[in-house]
Amino acid sequence: MKVLLVLKTYLALACLLVPCLAEELELEFAPAPVANPLKGLVPYAGDHGADAFPHSMEFSYVALSDLVAGERRYDWEKLEALLGRIASRRHQAVLRIYLEYPKKPSAVPGYLGVDGAPDYEDPALRECLRDFIAAFGEAYDGDARIGFLTAGLLGKWGEWHTWPEVDRWASRDVQVEVLDAYEAAFKQTPVLLRYPVGEGGKDAANDARPFGYHDDSFAWGTLDTGREEDFWFFVPALKKAGRAAVEKWKRHPIGGEIRPEAWGICFDEEPANPKVQSFARCVEETHVTWLMDSGMFEREYVTPGRRKRAETQVRRMGYEFHVSTADHVRRGGGVELSVAIENRGVAPFYAAWPIEWGLLDGRTGELRRSVEGGEKLTGILPGEEPVRRVGRIAVDGLAAGTYVLAMRVANPMPGGLPLCFANGTQDEHAPGWLSLMEVRIP
């Protein structure tokens, strides 16, 4: 009896002196929302049918002439109004600034005295572009209302070509100036380029630059067919540009637009047009994160079967994070958490939004304490082993009771859609929070 009493006393002291590791808990998988932030299908801003399909972003062209009021003078009023309208719908913007848009008035700033197609070699226009990009970056780089920028500015629709008027296309020197300006001005907001180009091409090389790409003929001119005449398709262009371009998706996002001929039907089991390429295979091979689209935002295209297939396929785009296991340790005056996160999507998450750890009231779900631990979701690649993220929450001063350990990645745009994990306990106790496990305090 005395031996048993001594043993119990020893074990009690051990629990006080040595941290007790909770049993690792496996967390159930459940598909994340289709409209997770910074991914998925993107309608035009204010599209009347935009509520037809879940989305987290809206796209808009912006005329350069609406932003440049004079030499080195800028007016952001129209852009602010646009961003405000998009943000009011809890969405973030994808933008492209253009100089020329077929069948629309010239967007060359008025002080340059050009009424028509731009001359990209004009020294005054080149200076205007360099100065504008610098001012644009100073005003908006890192603005949480902007998800992505496509470089724009050069070529018809800002798509970096003037086809079929190839003699008007900007020289390599002009392209380099624009690329240099974007690289210097935007360190946080992702910038995407239309065409992958490696060294030795006729256009300026961009494979080693910190930009992503956008495929604007997605599911039509995407996959490598092996035919010589399809050299311009996106995947063959990536391969031609070299390994750095092919692996660009690991660090910089891939976006684009579903080709109009493929709108809607690309989500059918057997697309009516045989030229439409497999949407699922295009997603897998390009690691695409977002795509402009009108097909699923026009009600006549959206049959129940098509919508269901689209939701499944679109959910696959970009990231999808599943917290597979979680555990915690009581140490000193705090709780140390550890989670394993796997990416079941096709691309990483590119925004450096911090992970926040929280303690929720076990009865009401109210947040009692939270802390940002410096950890992020960036760099977690699909197809790799789960990655460990850790945090610590102080519990001193909390009333005794049962709490729920939780985590979230908050959207930095006020009112923006929360990033949701692919877990069954997402939002279980509080909106935006992934519930991990219960803990008793003290």
Q: Residue 297: what are its φ and ψ, rounded to 5°?
A: -115, 10
CATH of domain 40-316: 3.20.20
Residues 6+ apart with CB under 8 A from 261: 220, 273, 275, 276
Residues 6+ apart with CB under 8 A from 223: 233, 235, 277, 278, 281, 282, 285
Q: Report the alpha-carbon distance of residue 387 to residue 343 in Å, rounded.
A: 9
- The pTM assigned to this predicted structure is 0.92
One-letter amino acid of 135: A
The closest of 371, 387, 403 to 323, measured between CA atoms, is 387
Residue numbers in the chain where pLDDT is lower than 70: 1-23, 48-50
State the fold for domain 18-31+320-441: Immunoglobulin-like (2.60.40)
pLDDT value for 409: 97
Task: Find out whether the peptide bond into 31 is cis, omega within 30 degrees of 0.
Answer: no
Would you say the CATH fold of 40-316 matches that of 18-31+320-441?
no
The residue extents of the domains of the chain are: 18-31+320-441, 40-316
One-letter amino acid of 226: G
Three-state SS for the chain is CHHHHHHHHHHHHHHHHCCEECCCEECCECCCCCCCCCCEEECECCCCCHHHCCCCEEEEEEEHHHCEEECCEECCHHHHHHHHHHHHCCCEEEEEEECECCCCCCCCCHHHCCCCCCCCCCHHHHHHHHHHHHHHHHHHCCCCCEEEEECCCCCECCCCCCCCCHHHCCCHHHHHHHHHHHHHHCCCCCEEECCCCCCCCCCCCCCCCCCEEEEEEECCCCCCCCCHHHCCCHHHHHHHHCHHHHCHHHCCCEEEEECHHHCCHHHCCCCCCCCCCCHHHHHHHHCCCEEECCHHHCHHHCCHHHHHHHHHHHHHCCCCEEEEEEEEEEECCEEEEEEEEEECCCCCCCCCCEEEEEEEECCCCCEEEEEEEEEECCCCCCCCCCEEEEEEEECCCCCCEEEEEEEEECCCCCCCCCECCCECCECCCCCCCEEEEEEEEC
| Two structure tokens written together for 262 | 């493929």
pLDDT, tens digit, 9 for 90 and up, residues 305-339 = 899 999 999 999 999 999 999 999 988 889 999 99
